[in-house]
Amino acid sequence: MAAVSTLVLLLSCFLPQFLLSSVLAAGDGRKTFIVHVQRDAKPSVFQTHDHWYESSLNTLSDGDGANRMIHTYSNVFHGFSARMSAIEAKKMESLPGILAVIPEQVRRLETTRSPEFLGLTRTDSAGLLKESDFGSDLVIGVLDTGIWPERKSFSDEDLGPVPAKWKGECVAGRDFPASSCNRKLIGARYFTRGYEATNGKMNESTEYRSPRDSDGHGTHTASIAAGRYVFPASTLGYARGVAAGMAPKARLAAYKVCWISGCYDADILAAFDSAVADGVDVISLSVGGVVVPYYLDAIAIAAFGASDAGVFVSASAGNGGPGGLTVTNIAPWVTTVGAGTIDRDFPADVQLGNGKILPGMSIYGGPTLTPHRLYPLIYAGSVGSDGYSSSLCLDGSLDPNVVNGKIVLCDRGINSRAVKGEVVKRAGGIAMILANGVFDGEGLVADCHVLPATAVGAAAGDEIRKYISVASKTKSPPTATIQFRGTRLNVRPAPVVASFSSRGPNPETPEIIKPDVIAPGVNILAAWPDGVGPSGLPSDNRRTEFNILSGTSMACPHVSGLAALLKAAHPDWSPAAIRSALMTTAYTVDNRGEAMTDESTGNSSTVMDFGSGHVHPQKAMNPGLVYDISSYDYVDFLCNSNYTTNNIHVITRKFADCRGAKRAGHAGNLNYPSFSAVFQQYSKHKLSTHFIRTVTNVGDPNSVYTVSIKPPPGTTVTVEPARLPFRRVGQKLNFLLRVQTEEVKLSPGNSRVSTGSITWSDGKHQVTSPVVVTLQEPL
């Protein structure tokens, strides 16, 4: 039986039975485990922790403990990873100091006009870039697929010396000498042991055993966070202009943790461990996985250790939208970032033989179709031996005798959008129209296709299928062409919540609204490696210095770079204070002055889609008030979330006395910059709860803030006191927010969500927080 990767943490709780059963059911083949130990647990007979770890392994097996070791960890938590069978892992639980087994997840990647769209321009005489010196002494650690160091985006021209605090390394490897680093890219490491423990030895003909990027994703995200100004920049002639990251002078450290088959928790944890020890200020993580309780989530555990050390952690919300309950990376000590559009797109419209023109989008840059000529048009689902496979343009599903010389309509799903184009091209198709399904809605992203191609929304796809069906029965067979219109700026409305962006509510802790914010994540121009074509397909021999990608993977590093700028401008701010500044100054209206819309439906979006709203960097520099959170506040939150003291120790490495925390309130009382009241109705006619918050004055001394309230429909919201007089900067004041509502008629298992907000203002600053009330009818 193939080995399945599993995670073992040496923690203060035992493996939940459902997880243990799944591990044992997988058979006795060796798997990867991570063992987490208390710092002072090492028996005195061992000189080093490594000796102790090897001895623990040797007691279980044939004495080859050293060979089974994968990584050791000593910063975000203490322990090691190793190969064991499920039965050996069970025995490991009984050894002194080894207490629990947790299954590992394999994470997946969540795959430039955006600085200008965000109001960050290098010519400003004042503002966040100027105030922070463009982030020059801050270090952003990017955990991703590596980096292509030769790109101009990573030039160290005119940068000062490497910050004295930096303790990291430039680890050499294949095609990546130590000289690949400079004063911009100041560190680079790669982590293969967890990946190879599950998959066997790496195929070095397709991947680099080094920090060099063979995928492109890591190069792209790193340059979004901190790329230098580069002119001219474009992709295949599209999006011409200046490319720049959010913090152009911030330093970068690349931690390669993602490989062809995914990103393994054992390696991600090792990267977190190294990044904190190296001295990064921000960690940017554009990967996602399945939501599990925090004590079973390796990223949540590692991120807590980083946050506890003062490191800001931002992570992608996921690309599972537009459905609800899809958001990932939802721990409250992580800033969770969804994706929105910017005011630029790349129209490529479909003209049908009946004269109708339907909107589409593409960044195809090769020879176009002959102007003013219409080509035969077919639907792939009606031309293959297997209608389902051919409708999706899966590999080998199209009949070249039917497809040759025609424009082919393919449905979205299963295989990648670029691969569908390759399938059509191999079958002899002259062009492709890619139609969204119902679930995708009207959200469009541009792709660098290998043949003339465009993407259309679900409604347009239905119209094209109907046209093909009707015209095929007449003397005028269906025809079409694609009109590529280049780059369009000042698009309205923008921003719009991206269709793919994962949505709330928070599946683990509904009292904490996730995502926290959204940021640009659709059609983002950023650096790209030489070794990969812009479509990402192995057969694509085109080369470009920049590429245009979409995903919450692209939104996350925008916030990582902004966090570096804010930390540079305010060195004393904690990770929670930085997140608070980004959240309370975010906006929820588009460039028409209307409520932001949801790309998938065209209707107004909600707090569950965008959290507190779209980031506004200039306002975040001076938010007026912040909601700060300490590590012990998170411990109280976990107590009130009914985690056991053992669970809490697993996550925080702190021993919790939950008696005081539970007397003080509930999980919603974490000092978070948003409010979520969740009521189980249980035939109660009147429902109420309260939230206690503490705000810290980071604005002006002798300022008085008054509150304005927009209650969610059907609720009463009160705030006491309604006036907060601050005498000095740094002063903290408390307030209580009470929510009252009444039972509504709901079917069992259904819920109703209503949203409002509160805003504290001193006449200069507007400090806004969403208020969400959820009524649930139990089954």
Catalytic annotation, residues: 144, 217, 553
Pairing of strands 524-527, 546-549: antiparallel
Nearest to 144 by CA among 197, 103, 188, 112: 188
Q: How many residues does the chain have?
A: 779
DSSP string covering 371-440: TT--EEEEEGGGSSSSHHHHHTT-TT-S-HHHHTTSEEEEE-BSB-HHHHHHHHHHTT-SEEEEE--TTT
State phi, psi for 321 to the nearest 5 degrees. -70, 170
Q: Enter the DSSP assignment of 198.
A: H
State phi, psi for 251 to the nearest 5 degrees. -90, 155
* Tokens describing residue 281: 């200020």
**Total Cβ atoms within 10 A of residue 463:** 17
Rounded Cα distance, 291 and 119, in Å? 34
How far apart, in Å, are the Cα atoms of 163 and each of 167, 168, 441, 562?
9, 11, 47, 19
Cβ atoms of residues 70 and 81 within 8 Å? yes
* Tokens describing residue 581: 């500044």
Residue 702's Cβ-count burial label (10 Å; 0-12, 13-18, 19+) is exposed
Burial 477-510, CB ≥16 within 10 A → b, else e: ebbbbbebeebeeeeebbbbbbbbbbbbbbbbbb
Cβ atoms of residues 450 and 425 within 8 Å? yes
* Tokens describing residue 83: 């190969």
Q: Is 231 left (phi over 0), alpha (psi -120 to 50) or beta?
A: beta
The one-letter code for the residue type at 71 is: H
Burial 371-392, CB ≥16 within 10 A → b, else e: eeeebbbbbbbebbeeeebbbb
* Tokens describing residue 522: 């659709």
> DSSP strand E in 589-685: where?
625-626, 675-680
The span from the first CA to the last CA of the chain, in angstroms, equals 40
DSSP string covering 42-92: --TT-SSHHHHHHHHHHTTSSS-HHHHEEEEEESSSEEEEEEE-HHHHHHH
Rounded Cα distance, 721 and 26, in Å? 57
* Tokens describing residue 87: 């039965």
Rounded Cα distance, 408 and 429, in Å? 7
The one-letter code for the residue type at 293 is: P
How far apart, in Å, are the Cα atoms of 166 and each of 139, 211, 277, 279, 481?
8, 18, 9, 5, 56
Cβ atoms of residues 564 and 245 within 8 Å? no
Pairing of strands 479-484, 453-456: unpaired
**Total Cβ atoms within 10 A of residue 240:** 13
Q: Which secondary-structure segment (H or E) carries 244?
A: none
Rounded Cα distance, 91 and 347, in Å? 60
Question: Residues 356, 360, 365, 366: what is their CA dihedral angle, to the nearest 10 degrees?
Answer: -40
Q: Is 149 left (phi over 0), alpha (psi -120 to 50) or beta?
A: alpha
424: Cβ contacts below 8 Å, ≥ 6 apart: 380, 393, 398, 403, 408, 410, 431, 432, 451, 453
